[in-house]
Amino acid sequence: MARKISFDLPATQTATPQPDARESLPQRTRPLLGLERTIKQSSAVGAISQSLGGISEKVKRAEEIEQKLIEGQVIVELDPALIEDSFVPDRMEAAQEQNAAFRELIRQHGQAVPILVRPKSSEAERYEVAFGHRRLRAARELGIKVKAVVRPLTDEQLVIAQGQENSGRTDLTFIERARFAMRLEQRGFSREIIMASLTVDKAALSRLISIATRVPAAVIDAIGPAPAFGRVRWQEFTELLEQENNRARAIEMVKDPSFNTLDTDKRFEALATGLRKKASRAKAETWAAKDGTHAAKVARVGKKLTLTFDDRVAPNFGDFVRERLQELYDQFKASDPPA
């Protein structure tokens, strides 16, 4: 059963008017947890990736959804077993050392900031977390109750709260943000809602989704969050993958047991370095006929076998073989070769 605790909101501050006559946007606050957090207006350089101001009326309507979350705050203590993870995951698994350090911090000092959850409409006395996944996991592992703000939220409100809380703390890495954006789009959320969630504009959102969709999911999972690498390095990595056979090479490289012994940043660097190296070309072996004619060259690279015919040495021999490929293939199938 939940134990309620009173929680007083701080007084709302009014933006100070600007001294000159030029129009300026007031600073906005997002006290989702009863805590004032000033959202800095973007500079000209940062506006592309950080600001939603003035993008469109649709985005402004999406931001209004967030403002509804700041009305009224009551903290309850819940059994973590009653709370499910968000239906759209945003984080990759952190290193065990990081999880242990965060858990120890909660154990020693308690949970200073509540998580945000919504009631599960289909199941009584159960909840779904909007943000605070690490705090929830720590409470689960410590066997203690978790402090939470319970609020009915639509799917759109939940993902906006989830994304903006992480964005406000710059807590998600680039690839985690990219994958979160892709998952939201795959679930049918509009671009306006996703932009509001991640606090980005259309161009930045397109880059996030593009990279998350062009890099194979198995490769992203294998690399992990890679906090040291941002958009530029992931863009370079994506372009590397699109070079000849590199996508298949990357999938094979991450299967190597030694790859998983590296930490996440080193996995990214090792894979990028490996993809820059050209696949070694096998030295072609000359096939000689009984009469001594070097009639063809044979080369094998991985699972590919290549035959090369030189008309200067054995004129028309290559055409002769090509015309008989069906006959050769039928003989091959009749010989019942191993699969």
CA 19, CA 212: separation in Å to the nearest integer? 44
Tens digit of pLDDT at every position of the chain (339 positions): 444 433 343 343 433 444 443 333 334 434 333 333 333 333 433 443 344 444 445 445 444 544 444 445 678 899 999 999 888 877 776 667 777 888 888 888 888 888 889 998 777 789 999 888 888 999 999 999 999 988 888 888 888 888 777 655 546 789 999 999 999 999 899 999 999 888 889 999 999 999 999 999 999 999 999 989 999 999 999 999 988 788 999 999 999 889 988 989 999 999 999 998 865 455 678 888 888 888 898 887 666 788 898 888 888 898 999 999 998 888 888 887 665
Give the separation between CA 149 and CA 137, rounded to whole angstroms: 16
**Angstrom distance (rounded) from CA 234 to CA 78:** 39
55 DSSP 8-state letter: S
User: Three-class SS of residue 305?
Assistant: strand
* 146-171 per-position pLDDT tens digit: 999 888 888 888 888 887 776 555 46
C-alpha span between 111 and 138 (Å, rounded): 10
27's CB contacts (< 8 A; 6+ apart) are: 15, 38, 39, 40, 41
The reported pTM is 0.56
- How many angstroms separate the CA atoms of 3 and 285, rounded? 78
pLDDT digits (tens, 9 = 90+) for 131-146: 888 889 999 999 999 9
Whether the Cβ atoms of residue 218 and residue 267 lie closer than 8 Å to each other: no
Tokens 């194979």, located at residue: 216
Long-range contacts, stretch 228-233, CB < 8 angstroms, 24+ apart: 228/265, 228/268, 229/173, 229/174, 229/175, 229/265, 229/268, 230/174, 231/174, 231/207, 233/268, 233/272
- Segments of the chain assigned to CATH 3.90.1530.10: 45-171
CA dist 220 and 12 (Å) reads 42
- Element of type H or E holding 286: strand 285-288
Question: What is the distance between the alpha carbons of residues 177 and 163, in angstroms, rounded to a whole number?
Answer: 8
CATH of domain 45-171: 3.90.1530.10
CB 275 within 8 A of CB 250: yes
Q: Please enumerate in sequence order all residues whose Cβ is within 8 A of that of 284, keeping only pairs 6 or more positions apart, or say none.
A: 297, 298, 299, 306, 308
Rounded Cα distance between 213 and 331, Å, is 43
